[in-house]
Structure 1
């Protein structure tokens, strides 16, 4: 393959990875909106759209394999392809988390802990993903470190949110007249909310993974990989 065509394929790979990230971010936003608005149509759109993300992942995985097998890249090109392969894996897993959010939305009938602001924490994690993809697109190592710093704040927020849910559950008075069904519903609501918090935190973790792979790609630095 001529060198020019090879370079074009590398650039196409970058563009396709960025496109996949846009699809994943759209699904995450839709899943969060479905939870906030208790919108069944939105929730089902997220769930049914997971196959598109899976197909994007498989197509890009094959592109990476082809570039590695047929071109035998070295140095910076090799790091770019390897990083891109790792990044699409994180994006695919974020797509799975978006599907989880859609499923939680279908189960949510009420807000039992309105003091826990899920959307606020989620906004920060989505900004982390956007920044991580910007760092990948622009090959910006400084953004990579900034994302890792923000993740500490997200972890703390998620921990506080989970503690609030558990504390309120402990303090909540359940009437003697409460039926077994009502108690089971409360426990299901608590479980769903804790899972939502956990999945939002995991989105942030995947953003850090993307930043770590980008830093390695740009500077051959594995400082953020763990």
Structure 2
């Protein structure tokens, strides 16, 4: 005799995974839009990212309720409980990436000039997006080995961010030495601050991707080493 209750429960777990991945795809799409708006100064694209944040928030709340219901109604065993709690932690990181994508879109709207064109904003953004994609793939396949690779890749992004921040700061110093007017220097300082915030937020996006990998490793192998 088929255990219908068990089949329904397993389907609920499968649905949870599918819904988390769908949220991940949505967040990744908005992140790519935000990065493109930064690169092209596309105001329409930036406003679409900002206006679409409510959809991410609503998706987060719906999946959060799924997690609560599974724990409250099904009393999952240890491995399933790790999957459910990891999924909840992952959607929290995804929601925060969505917020950071909104920040990037707002920076795109506030941009007034090009600063330090050799700064690797595009490269950093591409690498952070790739890290997010890899973390979502690891969640789908429960690939523990990929989690360690993701954590190591984050070191490269940190180095890129450090180098980019130094270049932006050096650009400010050089322009001040050229004797710009006080008004021009004030505007330049605003622009430098915006670019530094952009670099910081992309770095934070990569950090959230590593957080996702850490939860996957714990989910798949009960290994908390990347969490701490």
TM-score of the superposed pair, with normalisation by structure 1: 0.97
Aligned partners of 1:116, 1:149: CA distance in 2, in Å?
22
Aligned partners of 1:75, 1:126: CA distance in 2, in Å?
32
Alpha-carbon offset, residue 105 of structure 1: 0.5
Secondary structure of 2:176's aligned partner: coil
Which residue of structure 1 aligns with residue 185 of structure 2? 183
Query: Judging changes above 3 Å, is the alpha-carbon distance between structure 1 residues 177 and 84 closer, same or farther for their aligned structure 2 residues?
Result: closer
Q: Residue 120 of structure 2 contacts residue 160 of structure 2 at CA under 8 Å; is this kept in 1?
A: no
Candidates 105, 122, 127, aligned match of 1:124: 127
Alpha-carbon offset, residue 168 of structure 1: 2.0
Candidates 143, 148, 152, aligned match of 1:145: 148
Query: Judging changes above 3 Å, is the alpha-carbon distance between structure 1 residues 106 and 177 closer, same or farther for their aligned structure 2 residues?
Result: closer
- Verify: 1:80 aligned to 2:83, yes or no: yes
Candidates 201, 204, 207, aligned match of 2:206: 204
Total equivalences in the alignment: 225
Aligned partners of 1:119, 1:175: CA distance in 2, in Å?
28
Which residue of structure 1 aligns with residue 194 of structure 2? 192
Alpha-carbon offset, residue 184 of structure 1: 1.8
Secondary structure of 1:172's aligned partner: helix
- Verify: 1:219 aligned to 2:224, yes or no: no
Aligned partners of 2:176, 2:134: CA distance in 1, in Å?
43
Alpha-carbon offset, residue 109 of structure 1: 2.3
Residue ranges of structure 2 left out of the alignment (5+ in a row): none
Alpha-carbon offset, residue 95 of structure 1: 0.2
Aligned partners of 2:158, 2:104: CA distance in 1, in Å?
19
Q: Residue 38 of structure 1 contacts residue 109 of structure 1 at CA under 8 Å; is this kept in 2?
A: no
Aligned partners of 1:52, 1:77: CA distance in 2, in Å?
28
Q: Residue 93 of structure 2 contacts residue 211 of structure 2 at CA under 8 Å; is this kept in 1?
A: yes
TM-score of the superposed pair, with normalisation by structure 2: 0.96
Aligned partners of 1:114, 1:176: CA distance in 2, in Å?
21
